[in-house]
A = this chain, B = another copy of it.
């Protein structure tokens, strides 16, 4: 076993390059859950997988595909980073329940039920009305449970989240968001919801995206760490991880596309505004992927011990992968 710590960032969507893959190494990231779909169809998602296959082929000593907890341990031992594919929307399965297993066979391990808007499965957190998980959604959750594609409700609205939790026979996650009691926002989650999800062996990955942070770009590491300490008090230590949501190097055209896809001819600003429409500035202490280890200092200062810090920064996600990435048929 490598003597270096095993860290996991359970959500990134950066402008990928050899430079950023090296930052993953500097940060001791044994695994990164990367977004490969926001609005794409199945066929478009295949192109994104092909792009990632090429990244992995071109960086054989740096990257490997991550489909199991075992893969993550192998990556850690060999100084690589395991890349775990995830979908921030269910668009990749289109209206076809059979595509769920295909996406899992191709390495998909997390799928959000909706991305801000109503989807075929569930309501998104920006809709005025939350009608809950749909008929197809209920079938899809059952199939996701069967094959080992984790239900992620990060951008899903409250009632739909509770429905998903009820229908799912396996733990579900908020891969990247923070508690509403720390910073109220449409994307952050209620205390009741986090409590319910984590009580059912689910996870929350704390987000470093400024719109999810108290004081936005000016959020301090101390405040962020105190929020995690309070979360540990409320939900226990074993369900907490990091899903930074870092979009390093992406041009502002990308956040516009994330918000508008092909669904609108108007311009939706999401968590931003007309005056602040681009990617918000990251906090100084987490401006890039290689800043990940900085979180450790914050957690130390608020009193977490070494084992607790290792859990939050990677080992909790690793345990979750071990328990939830396999097929129930096995």
Contacts and interface: CB of A to CB of B under 8 A. Distances in A.
Nearest to A143: B57
A137 interface: no
Pick from A49, A96, A102 the residue with the most CB of B within 10 Å: A102
A329 B62 CA distance: 13
Contacts of A105: 105-107
Contacts of A106: 102, 105-106
B107 A53 contact: no
Contacts of A281: none
Contact of A60 (B98, B101, B329): B329
Interface in A120-171: 146
A46 B102 contact: yes
A40 to B, nearest CB: 14
A265 interface: no
Contacts of A99: 46, 50
A98 B53 CA distance: 8
B101 A53 contact: yes
Contacts of A57: 146, 329
Nearest to A56: B329
A60 to B, nearest CB: 6
A56 to B, nearest CB: 8
A49 B102 CA distance: 8
A96 B54 CA distance: 13
Q: In this complex, which of A42, A54, A98 has the most chain B Cβ atoms within 10 angstroms of its Cβ?
A: A98
A301 interface: no
A170 B102 CA distance: 28
Interface string A41-75: 01100110110011001001000000000000000
A329 B98 CA distance: 30
Contacts of A42: 43, 46
Contacts of A49: 102
A142 to B, nearest CB: 12
Contact of A102 (B53, B60, B96, B101): B53
Nearest to A97: B50
Contact of A50 (B43, B102, B107, B329): B102
What are the 3 tightest A-B residue pairs by CB atom distance, in nearest-first order?
A50-B98, A53-B101, A105-B106
Given A50-B98, A50-B101, A53-B98, 5 more contacts: A46-B102, A53-B102, A54-B98, A105-B105, A106-B106
